Amino acid sequence: MLVGMTLQRLLVVTLLITFTACAGQTYRAEVGPMFARARGEFALANSSQFLPLNSSIAGNLGLGDSEVSPYLAFRTDIDKHRVRVNGFYLDSEGSGTLRPEPQSGFAYGNIEPRTQVQTTMDFFAIATNYSYEVLREEHCRIGVGAQLGFYSLDVSVRSPGGREQVTTDVIVPMPYVEAEAFWRDLTVGATMGIMSADLGDANGRYWDIEAYSKWAINQSYDLKFGYRYLLLDGFGRASSRDFDADVDVQGIYLSAGVRF
């Protein structure tokens, strides 16, 4: 099962990167650390398919601290067309106590309320977007297009009485818009993709928003400071259980870029 999931993720990543192989005249690659954290709530049905109230990621599952994650991005431009790929991976763990749930007798899957738990969460995101330049002036640029995002969330909760794990993968197509303002060697920009649909394992809302500032050291190198916000708010079924997730992953990053 794990091998199949790994192959599936590698296939999706390959397809997304292959999309960038369309003709390009200038290329830019960047890498750096991202300081990200997850917030929100998550609920998992028990073996009788009863779905308890959501457990807080920070308060009950013991997650929510900022973690250092690798951030990678690639961009190619030709005339008025731009293709971007970016991604990061968040691996976090913590401990907490499940919320009281006297009416149902369960707080998370088959784990009872007030139970001490150890939690791990793996989150992987990669997005490819295409934009066409609809406005270009001396100090600004606006592009519109589409984005294809792959988001994977794996939450494992362990207690003295057992373990509950749910993994959900979703591929999200969404409309996309980006805007940039220029002043000498400084560029300030923002991108946004939003979708509400029944996709993959869940039916819900998906947001992918980024804001950044970039300083060009010279024609070949630059430094970039940015903020990324991802929202996955969905109800669905994964690992043979119903789940309800209202999770956002956000953080700042600092990257060094090279143009070639």
pLDDT in tens, the chain (260 residues): 444 444 455 445 545 555 555 545 789 999 999 999 999 888 888 888 888 777 788 778 888 889 999 999 999 999 899 999 999 999 999 998 887 655 545 678 888 888 899 999 999 999 999 999 999 999 999 999 999 999 998 999 999 878 988 888 889 999 999 999 999 999 999 999 999 888 767 788 999 999 999 999 999 999 999 999 999 998 888 767 888 889 999 999 999 999 98
- DSSP three-state, residue 108: strand
Q: What is the dihedral of CA 253, 11, 176, 71, to 10 degrees?
A: 0
Domains of the chain in sequence order? 2-259 (2.40.128.90)
Write down the pTM of the prediction: 0.85
DSSP helix/strand/coil, 201 = coil
Widest CA span in the chain: 64
